[in-house]
Amino acid sequence: MPLYRTKSQLYSDQEAIKQGILDDCTWASCAAAVSFASLYTVNYSAADGVAAQKAVTKRVDKQGVSDNGGSLPEAVKVIAKLGGKARYAKSWDDAMTAMKSGAALLVWVQQPQGFPDIHISKWHDKWKRWWWVKQKQPTRTYGHMTSSGMDRDTGIIYWTCPTRDERDPAEAYGVPVTESQLRQIANSKVKAGKLKADYKALLIVTHPGGQVAVQAPVAVAPVAPVVAAPTAPVSATQSAVVSTPAPVPAKKEAQIDPALSASVDALKRVDWGAKAGEAAEAIGNAVELTKGQSGMNRVISVLKSIKDNTGIDEAATEAARVFLTTCIAMMLATGSPLLDMTSGDFRVVISGGLSACLNVVVRFLQPTDNQFGVKTKEK
- Residues 117, 328: Cα–Cα separation, whole Å: 13
- Residues 23, 144: Cα–Cα separation, whole Å: 9
Residue 8: the pLDDT is: 96
- Residues 347, 355: Cα–Cα separation, whole Å: 12
Q: Residue 52: which of 104, 6, 109, 7 has the closest Cα?
A: 7
Determine how β-strand 104-111 pairs with β-strand 202-206.
antiparallel
Angle 169-2-352 from CA coordinates, rounded to 5°: 55
Residue 152: the pLDDT is: 83
Residue 293: the pLDDT is: 77
Residue 4: the pLDDT is: 95
Neighbours of 139 (CB within 10 A): 8
- Residues 210, 260: Cα–Cα separation, whole Å: 24
Task: For residue 245, say if its preceding peptide bond is cis, omega within 30 degrees of 0.
Answer: no
- Residues 205, 98: Cα–Cα separation, whole Å: 9
3-class DSSP state of 116: coil
Residue 51: the pLDDT is: 95
Please, where in the chain does CATH 3.90.70.10 lie? 9-210
Instruction: Name the H helices within the chain.
Output: 14-19, 25-37, 46-57, 72-81, 92-100, 122-126, 132-134, 179-186, 188-191, 258-268, 272-289, 295-309, 312-334, 343-364
- Return the biggest CA–CA distance within the chain: 99
Could you list the pLDDT tens digit for every one of the 379 residues in the chain? 578 999 999 999 898 998 888 889 999 999 999 999 999 999 999 999 999 999 999 998 888 888 888 999 999 999 999 999 999 999 999 999 999 999 999 999 999 999 999 999 999 988 887 767 766 777 888 999 999 999 988 899 999 999 999 999 999 999 999 999 999 999 999 999 999 999 999 999 999 998 753 333 444 444 444 444 444 444 444 433 444 445 555 544 444 455 555 555 555 555 555 555 666 666 767 677 777 777 777 778 767 776 676 667 676 777 777 777 777 766 666 555 666 666 666 776 777 777 676 666 666 665 555 555 444 444 4
- Residues 355, 323: Cα–Cα separation, whole Å: 8
Residue 143: the pLDDT is: 92
Using alpha carbons, list the distances in angstroms from residue 318 to 195, 305, 361: 36, 20, 9
pTM of the model: 0.58
Q: Residue 92: which of 187, 195, 207, 192 has the closest Cα?
A: 187
Identify the CATH number of the domain defined by range 9-210.
Answer: 3.90.70.10
Q: Residue 165: which of 46, 288, 305 has the closest Cα?
A: 46
Phi, psi (degrees; rounded to nearest 5) at 231: -120, 155
How would DSSP label each residue in 338-369?
GGG--HHHHHHHHHHHHHHHHHHHHHHT-TT-
Instruction: Name the H helices within 209-342.
Output: 258-268, 272-289, 295-309, 312-334
